[in-house]
Amino acid sequence: RGGSSIALGASGFGTWGQNYADNSKINQWDNFQTTVRSALANNDIDGDGEADTLVPAGIIWMQGEADAYHEQASKVYLANLTSLMNDMKMTFGNKKLPIILGRIEDSGKTPETRMMPYIESVWDAQKKFVKSNANAHLIAFDEPVEFIEDKWHYKSNYYIKLGNLFAEKAAETLAK
């Protein structure tokens, strides 16, 4: 199956847990908390000298490659995703905050050539999460994705397409 090592610097859900204590990788939960506190504390977001209020409108989430690489992580992906999204919504103080998930892709198009041998498990978890959460949505490419040489990361134009897909779904969701 797939590659022999996971993408450099990748971090699975473990680093997003509130109780992450292993110092071998970046503590993503603490970084998230620091960023949110800093953003919400800024009283003049646009720098025009007038007080502004930042109102979070939703969560855009693109993650799962590291989890799709490891069997055990893929098995608990749904539970971890559910817990993390609930924790994030609580951080923002809005239980009904919309969530837009991006469907992860693999450079290998068959089970034998995949970089992420457990991607189907993550795909299933993403679908189940969206199905069980009224304010959750899943976006996906409608064409085959091209990857750079590392076989983990998309070519630049696909990140632009991904951003457009997220923006379109966010605009649609916020219009409701």
- Residues 101-139 pLDDT 10s: 999 999 998 989 999 999 999 999 999 999 999 999 999
* Residue-level pLDDT at 84: 92
Residue 76 pLDDT level (bands cut at 50, 70, 90): very high
Q: Tell whether the model's pLDDT for residue 171 goes beyond 90.
A: yes
Domain boundaries, the chain: 13-54, 57-175
Mean pLDDT computed over every residue of the chain: 88
Widest distance between CA atoms in the chain: 58
Instruction: Name the residue with higher pLDDT: 109 or 165.
Output: 165
Helix then strand then coil, in percent of the chain rounded to 5, is: 45, 5, 50
Quote the pTM value: 0.85
The number of helices, as runs of H, and strands, as runs of E, in the chain is 6, 3
What span, in angstroms and rounded, lies between the C-alpha atoms of 26 and 40? Answer: 23
* Tokens at 16, concatenated: 């997003």
Which residue type, as a one-letter code, is found at position 65?
E
The DSSP element (H or E) to which 137 belongs, if any, is strand 136-139
Contact of 99 with 133, CB cutoff 8 Å: yes
- Mean pLDDT calculated for residue range 44-63: 91
- Mean pLDDT calculated for residue range 37-43: 86
* Tokens at 110, concatenated: 């068959």
Question: What number of residues does the chain have?
Answer: 176
Percent residues over pLDDT 70 in the chain: 86
Q: Tell whether the model's pLDDT for residue 3 goes beyond 50.
A: no
Q: What is the homologous superfamily of the domain 57-175 according to CATH?
A: SGNH hydrolase (3.40.50.1110)
